[in-house]
Amino acid sequence: MTAQTMSYSARESSSGSWMQWAMIVALVYLLLVAVGMIGGGFKAATGDQAKELFAFASNPLAALVIGTIATALIQSSSTVTSIIVGLVAGGLPVEIAIPMVMGANIGTTITNTIVSLGHVRQGQEFKRAFAAATIHDFFNLISVVIFLPLEIMFGFLQKIGVAMSGFLVGGDSMSMKGFNFIKPLVKPPIKLLQNGLGDIGLSKAVVGTILIVLGIALIFVVITFIGKLLKKLMTGRAKEILHAAVGRGPISGLTSGTLITVLVQSSSTTTSLIVPLAGSGVFSLRQVYPFTLGANIGTCITALLAATAVSGANAIFALQVALIHLAYNILGVVVIYGIPLLREIPPRAAEKLAELAVEKKIYVAVYVVSVFFLLPVILIAGSNLLGM
């Protein structure tokens, strides 16, 4: 290759990556607009009656199940938590949103479990891959078992959310209100769409419903595209982060998992990435464990970003939910990974299940159907019977 063609291809690749970054900026803007659309849509459709609309999910177990199943079906916790932020902007009470966010954590673990099934014909490799995938499931399940009852009894996560949001936007000296340039950028297209739909004679309720549906669809499409683009652009940086983490212990693994998830905006990508790495036997289950937990923390960035788009009286609650999601995932790591007795439960459970899975693959099918679909239905039915 001549120097001229090399310089031409370098220029072309740099302009290509510049284009991709411009697209990401545009997509992030669309994500913010979409979240604003959901909030605005609920306000238009229900006025101040949104709380009544969400009464069906006032049972925390029902809310947990909705979060789990929605995420398991969509296979993106970022999408579901961004939608939840939009719903809170539209009037969904924070106390209902909290179990939904916890459910999103459980639902997202189905993706890497499915990825691990690709190794099904390779005996020991499948065993390691399946254990690396389900360690995330067990961690998130234990996290809910510990924190959901505490939240129901004491509302401690909600209190943390109030304190954190107060710290960020409440005080005079640290107020972000004056610096939030996102809301004025996001509002005009939503207003334009709302007015346009109103001008063609649609009622407020119909306009609101259209905004909600469009907002949800847009979040789904935008996050999918952002994930694809970032994966292309960030593979090199992800490699650097992983190289730097090798041989440096769990804190480094946790940090690299967080950073890579922030870079690719998808915990499923991060947790699925480790499945073949662990499956090959090159990385041990104990080595990938903290990396997986980092994905839980890194994925919170999308909802935080989404919360910046919300305006109006519910903006503070939308920010609270995003901060609660972050606090919940950090607390999970501190408590479960920090206490040796609890720390050992996810890897041991994952190893035991993987042993069974190697023996009979039908156990895998039973496990996936039970945890992600059957158990949630039983939980709802049981709690309804108990009159919760």
Partner 1 sequence: MSNIQERKQELQGQITELETSLAELRGKLEAVEEAEQHAMIDQLEEYIDVVNHKSAGLKAFWQVVKKELGDVLGSKG
CB of 69 to partner 1, least distance (A): 18
Does residue 292 bind partner 1 (CB under 8 A)? no
Among 79, 111, 143, 299, binds partner 1 (CB under 8 A): 111
CA atoms 326, 143, 250, 287: torsion sign: negative
CB of 374 to partner 1, least distance (A): 17
- Alpha-carbon span 264 to 261, nearest angstrom: 5
CB of 165 to partner 1, least distance (A): 33
Among 280, 313, 344, 381, binds partner 1 (CB under 8 A): 280
Among 4, 172, 243, 340, binds partner 1 (CB under 8 A): 243
- Alpha-carbon span 72 to 79, nearest angstrom: 11
Residues in 208-237 at the binding interface with partner 1, rule: CB under 8 A: 231, 235
Among 120, 163, 330, 379, binds partner 1 (CB under 8 A): 120
Question: Please, which residues have CB within 8 angstroms of residue 191's CB and are 6 or more apart in sequence?
Answer: none
For partner 1 (CB under 8 A), the number of binding residues is 35
Does residue 360 bind partner 1 (CB under 8 A)? yes
Does residue 277 bind partner 1 (CB under 8 A)? yes
**CA distance from start to end of the chain:** 72
Does residue 207 bind partner 1 (CB under 8 A)? no
Does residue 265 bind partner 1 (CB under 8 A)? no
CB of 308 to partner 1, least distance (A): 27
Question: Residue 296's closest CA among 155, 154, 142?
Answer: 142
Among 1, 2, 4, 121, binds partner 1 (CB under 8 A): 121
Question: Residue 148's closest CA among 78, 88, 81, 67?
Answer: 67
Does residue 179 bind partner 1 (CB under 8 A)? no
Question: Please, which residues have CB within 8 angstroms of residue 302's CB and are 6 or more apart in sequence?
Answer: 31, 78, 81, 82, 223, 265
Among 6, 362, 378, 381, binds partner 1 (CB under 8 A): 362
Does residue 282 bind partner 1 (CB under 8 A)? yes
Question: Please, which residues have CB within 8 angstroms of residue 95's CB and are 6 or more apart in sequence?
Answer: 60, 155, 158
Question: Residue 126's closest CA among 284, 368, 369, 358?
Answer: 358
Question: Residue 215's closest CA among 44, 23, 386, 1?
Answer: 44
Give the footprint of partner 1 on this chain (CB under 8 A).
111-112, 114-121, 231, 235, 238-239, 242-243, 246-247, 264, 266, 268-269, 272-273, 275-277, 280, 282-283, 360-362, 364-365
